[in-house]
């Protein structure tokens, strides 16, 4: 497997942010259930716009009816990043915020007035006003890795006035931040190797956090204690990345784009894996209104649309570049995708990244 931490620093960014694609080789399991053999794609209305370099996660501001996209900009001779404000219907750029740090993960507050973006390479998080686009506050976390670099702040979750931010360290940790004051409240320690995806479950009133050691941590958001650790328990090696949930059925979905190259479905009540969907998998979203699952396949350059009951592939969209982050619109009828370009040897990219709007 490729090392999770590589040099130069630009390569590190690709590894620790939410859209990382890790490649490895693994012998196929004897018995697999594959959903990757998709039928011929149907004609579905989609719109693609080039926006800029280094596009990562997105949020939809319900207050401003805008789509915000975090950008790290380039990694060669480029300082700082951008936050793009797009028209969610046309994907035209309606505003730009130039930031002195690079932006990666994104989370919206409850009313859409504010959103938060992780400054992964610098180990920080920024609060942004959704109406003006201005950075209002920022918190930089203390601590360095073994190479003397800041510990990466990967995914960010907003929940009841707190931010839960995964630290890419070994052992990893989760920083709990007061979102109003932007001060550190506590750290959830011993969170395993490299904390990756983080979501909240309204069904169980628990925070779920994935890590690079193949664990899903079950965290009490009131006590900030890890109560359980879910694993596949099948003897295979996993590097879990991103999470989604169907709260109506208590199913938890987690992707692995490393050795396993699969999406696992956990039963939250029993903690057991009830389904394995083969195929490279990076981003994942569940759409309750349409009872569908969406999976971005960075390596295969596809986005899959699955029936959430049967796991059958209903449709797929192919691209010339690499699908990464996904976002479902509030009404559940639109899927947004960021597309990444390949990197050259000098850490420049082969062109600008794009945002795709798919009418479901």
175 HSE (CA, 13 A, CB side) = 26
167 HSE (CA, 13 A, CB side) = 27
Interatomic CA distance for residues 287 and 294, integer angstroms: 8
Q: What is the pLDDT of residue 44?
A: 54
Tell how many helices (H) and how many strands (E) occur in the chain.
1, 28
Q: What is the pLDDT of residue 5?
A: 32
- pLDDT per residue of the chain (360 residues) written in tens, 0 to 9: 333 333 344 444 544 443 343 333 333 333 334 444 444 444 458 999 999 899 999 999 999 999 999 999 988 888 999 999 999 999 999 999 999 999 999 999 999 999 999 999 999 999 999 999 999 999 999 998 888 999 999 999 999 999 999 999 999 999 999 999 999 999 999 999 999 999 999 999 999 999 999 999 999 999 999 999 999 999 999 999 999 999 999 999 999 999 999 999 999 999 999 999 999 999 999 999 999 999 999 999 999 999 999 999 999 999 999 999 999 999 999 999 999 999 888 777 788 999 999 999
Q: What is the pLDDT of residue 164?
A: 98
């Amino acid at each position: 497997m490729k090392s999770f931490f590589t040099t130069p620093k630009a390569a590190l960014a690709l590894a620790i942010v939410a859209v990382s694609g890790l490649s490895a080789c693994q012998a196929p399991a004897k018995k697999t259930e594959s959903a990757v053999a998709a039928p011929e794609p149907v004609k579905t209305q989609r719109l693609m716009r080039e926006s800029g370099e280094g596009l990562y996660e997105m949020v939809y501001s319900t207050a401003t009816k805008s789509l915000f996209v975090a950008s790290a900009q380039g990694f060669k001779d480029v300082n700082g990043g951008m936050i793009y404000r797009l028209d969610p219907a046309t994907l035209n750029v309606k505003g730009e915020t130039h930031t002195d740090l690079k932006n990666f993960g994104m989370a919206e507050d409850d009313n859409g007035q504010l959103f938060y973006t992780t400054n992964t390479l610098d180990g920080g998080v920024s609060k942004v006003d959704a109406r003006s686009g201005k950075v209002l506050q920022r918190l930089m976390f203390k601590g360095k890795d073994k190479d003397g670099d800041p510990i990466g702040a990967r995914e960010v979750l907003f929940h009841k006035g707190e931010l839960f931010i995964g630290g890419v360290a070994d052992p990893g940790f989760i920083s709990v931040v007061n979102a109003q004051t932007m001060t550190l409240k506590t750290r959830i320690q011993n969170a395993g190797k490299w904390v990756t995806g983080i979501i909240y479950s309204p069904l169980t009133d628990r925070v779920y956090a994935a890590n690079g050691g193949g664990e899903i941590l079950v965290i009490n958001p009131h006590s900030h204690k890890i109560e359980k650790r879910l694993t596949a328990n099948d003897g295979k090696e996993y590097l879990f990345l991103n999470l989604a949930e169907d709260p109506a059925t208590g199913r938890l979905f987690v992707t692995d784009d490393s050795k396993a190259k699969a999406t696992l479905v956990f039963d939250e009540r029993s903690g057991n894996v009830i389904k394995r969907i083969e195929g490279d998998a990076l981003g994942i979203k569940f759409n309750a209104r349409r009872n569908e699952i969406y999976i971005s396949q960075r390596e295969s350059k596809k986005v899959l649309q699955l029936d959430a009951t049967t796991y059958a592939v209903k449709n797929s969209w192919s691209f010339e570049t690499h699908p990464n982050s996904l976002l479902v619109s509030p009404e559940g009828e639109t899927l947004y995708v960021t597309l990444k370009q390949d990197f050259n040897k000098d850490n420049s990219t082969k062109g600008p990244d794009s945002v795709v709007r798919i009418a479901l």
